[in-house]
Structure 1
Amino acid sequence: MKVSPTRNRQAERREATRREIVETAWEIARSDGLAAVTLREIADRIGMRPPSLYTHFESKNAVYDAMFTDAYIQLHETSAAAAIPDEPRAALLTGAQTYFDFATADLARYQLMNQPALPDFRPSESAYAASLRQYEWFRGRMAAVGVTTQADLDLWTALTSGFVNQQLANDPGGDRWRRQLPRLVDMFCTAVGIPDPEARSTSR
């Protein structure tokens, strides 16, 4: 008879509670801003006494740390799930659209990941590792289309982040800057030497 592995139900309940705390913190951040996230507000919303919440997160910054990690895990899962074409320019456009849609879908998440919205918060080493893992995955994807130098990677991230910032600041919920992504990709590819497949086909 096959014996099922023993479940650690206490650990499962603890993890479920931590997940509920983080999800509640996101709800607060999305409705009232990141600075509105407090342990007391989280405890009130989930019906937990503040001292009990401290057994899961010792401070507000510890909650932000878990949110930061969660955000980069979400980004990685979203990026990895995208169907990337083989042709380099098409691959870059798909990657740009995927990141743009992820970033503009949630202002609070984007601010925590990329902007100094919380002057007193710095991600811990373990939380920052999640962002580094995502960056290394991104570096591998860019290398696959021929973008390998740090300067070119920096140019790409500056351009795509700049488009996100413009969209969030000037046309939230719209697509004014998303419509410009094909032009961004073409300009970037011309600058770094990725050939246009249509130009190649017409020159033969």
Structure 2
Amino acid sequence: MSAAPNRDRRAERREATRREIVDAAWEIARRDGISAVTLREVAAIVGMRSPSLYSHFESKNAIYDAMFGDAWALYLDRVTEHLRTLPDAPREALLSMLRHFFDFATADLARYQLMNQRSIPGFEPSPASYAPSVEVMAQLHRTMRSLGITDEADIDLYTALGGGLVDMQLANDPGGDRWRRHLPRVVDMFADDVNLPGPRLRSSR
């Protein structure tokens, strides 16, 4: 019987501290806005001096990078699971995907801003943190192609429609559903434009 490998307790403690720092940054971002994160306040929340943060993250943007990667990795996990449960009807599948994205996006303003808007001047995610978002888009493209939508411009339009409605919801009716209610109508308009077969999602006006 082989012995269990030795645990690297130092690495575990270091990772736990990094996790605590990132969680503190999210706490500030959700309370005061994504651009309000400061090293001083992060350090105060985790109980260390500001210079000590540099032994874990080389800059504030490095903390944002970890947050960006976490957010997209979470969405990747959730959307991967969601895509396994899509309805067979193409329009219903499109609506299910759009609702899933809409609900994830509007559930957390700070997270959505970091993931999808250029809210932090000078911040660019690292390749490692950007990778989950690339996989999300690859899954979207594969799914759209399986529904018969192959034109890149059409896929771009679909994502723009979803993002635009999210922006309107967050800006004008946070916590409500004013723009979410438009999703069936928008999907029908899109599906009509790309000649996707019915049945229609929205009754005639």
Q: TM-score, normalised by structure 1?
A: 0.92
Report how many residues are paired.
199
Q: Percent identity, aligned pairs only?
A: 59
- Provide, for residues 45-66 of structure 1, a one-character-per-residue CA deviation record: whole Å limited to 9, x for no partner: 0101222211110100000111
Query: Could you tell me which amino acid in structure 1 is paired with residue 62 of structure 2?
Result: A
1:24 and 2:5 matched: no
SS of structure 2 residue aligned to 1:23:
helix
Asked whether the 8 Å contact 2:76–2:132 carries over to 1, the reply is: no
What does 1:177-188 align with in structure 2 at a 5 Å threshold? 177-188=179-190
Residue in structure 2 matched with residue 72 of structure 1 by the alignment: 72
Counterpart residue number, 2:160: 158
Instruction: Answer yes or no: is 1:196 the counterpart of 2:187.
Output: no
**Partners of 2:199 and 2:33 in 1: CA distance:** 45
Deviations 1:107-146 (A, max 9, x none): 1111111112112212223222232122112211222212
C-alpha distance in 2 between matches for 1:52 and 1:125: 26
Distance in 2, matches of 1:86 and 1:14, equals 46
The match for 1:43 is 43
Matches of 1:30 and 1:198, distance apart in 2: 38
Deviates more, 1:138-147 or 1:35-44: 138-147
TM-score (norm 2): 0.91
Q: Is 1:88 aligned with 2:90?
A: yes
Secondary structure of 1:147's aligned partner: coil
Report the AA paired with residue 169 of structure 1: A
2:10 pairs with 1:10: yes
Residue 131, structure 1, aligned to residue 133, structure 2: yes
User: Quick one: which amino acid aligns to residue 177 of structure 1?
Assistant: W
Residue number in structure 2 paired with 1:202: none
Structure 2: gaps (5+ residues): none
**What is the Cα-based RMSD across aligned positions, in Å?**
1.6
